[in-house]
Structure 1
């Protein structure tokens, strides 16, 4: 039997790599003669870098400016193929993630994506002609303005001064000076992995939907939304492009600036990462797929990595088993996506706290339990 073990991260307890190892241990207890291939997956957000490294990309580390100016170290990934084509994978969360900032109203207005631009510059210096941008887990709501500032763009106020970094200052921008923008950007294929359809601004835009989790109170949300609305107008005036499109609201509107000034495309996160890592080839060789994530809930059913993988396996007639920290959808919901059995850590751990603290052990137990019962 060939088992493809392809979980997403168990946020707050296990990385996707650690989860895959724990699931593999449980699977091999039940099927000791199986060939168990561990293949961490992601949907374009946090974990995308880890999936790329697991698939053979080289991890690199650069010092960058964090989301509220404190210096941090941020990882990214690089690979050059046999033909000499170079590609990079960058996660916005690495340089500009919420993990690097206390979520307060003041910080929500100050946070920026400058460090992401520094990672893009490092990728350009390495010779990358394709850059995959995984967005998610971000601290900023600056429409990607900070990243392009790191690459030479100057947003100007009415007096001709460069405005401060952060989404809170975007409402003051009246024009942009793109004369210093890195010319290498024109030759790069930017692929932005998104798993949401939110526009840049408005009631379903970046500020209103995602701002509160970054610390924005009602007043800060309104200021950030007004800034993004103004930023879209300035970008349209400068480039002739409308950036208020579905998906542009991801990662605090990060895609918007790249949609305006580069030939960036927005792509479904799971499909992009699957193609990037070679998951499709691994899937075709499998007799059974085991996937999972920390919380299998209604959002999972909208195309998150485990369910997207289950859908792909179903099309090939391959059964899928799900193991998760908790499962908040019905067996019927899962069956509709080709899942034949499921188990959650909370069924084998005595408490939620114990399940989190010893997630690897309980994930192995849950895998054993579901395979023995399937």
Structure 2
């Protein structure tokens, strides 16, 4: 793919944190490409490195955080030309003035972390517009009205004069989305934006993000641990464990032909009303803290299909097809032929049947 196809390219990103216990390896060589106008989802359990990855894109770094290697190249469109920018090499001032909000915007899990509780909603959206646009007040107010309409808010005047605490969680998240798209960014990062909402509101927010993406040709990075959400919004899926990508492919690849045992575990442990079991499957154990030097496959201790080599050597990526790769020794030509768990195979067959009939 060319610069015109890829809007953001993360290459071999490694990040560690200093702690009393030693050096914690949060990211270990993460490589991700985001295609223009498409949605990628990064999935995995808490602590896998998803949020660290996207916060690094936005240069939201902790004091004890160290970028050890890698690049994050944003292929910026300017005057009909593509200008590659390594975001890790930009000054904080340039990042704040030219990239954050203007080119890349982010929506967080809890909207109250993004909103000022002491400021009315209308003024907060106006501030976001004035931060990057030279525009008169009247035109800016009109734009606020348009943004609130875009995110599905009807009682616009009342909402503009309200404080965040006076709105519901779903309404606050709509406001945050309005602020995020106010300066027409090219890339929108959504860090678990529906986790704190009830199921009905979750669905509406997901539909809203999809609608805005299609209307504005937005590229989207969606962080979640909920594979049910992924199936609704993603074109490409990256499965993350212990600071590494362990499998990636199209949405169909990951849901209909998963190859990594960790992906099997995530899919098996996702509740599905269409496939009822007496007991929901779970992944045994807990994720390891990546302290100091590590060797082997970090999922090996939790993997019931682990081979001896898993405890000694980290697996490379093996090709499943041109757009589907998985880092598991089970795909090695000399590995024993271990099949997908029967309960998961039945669930996948049911999903395929539903799609054919749907």
Whether the TM-score (by the shorter chain) exceeds 0.5 is no
The structure with the greater share of residues assigned to strand is: 2
Give the TM-score, by structure 2 length.
0.32
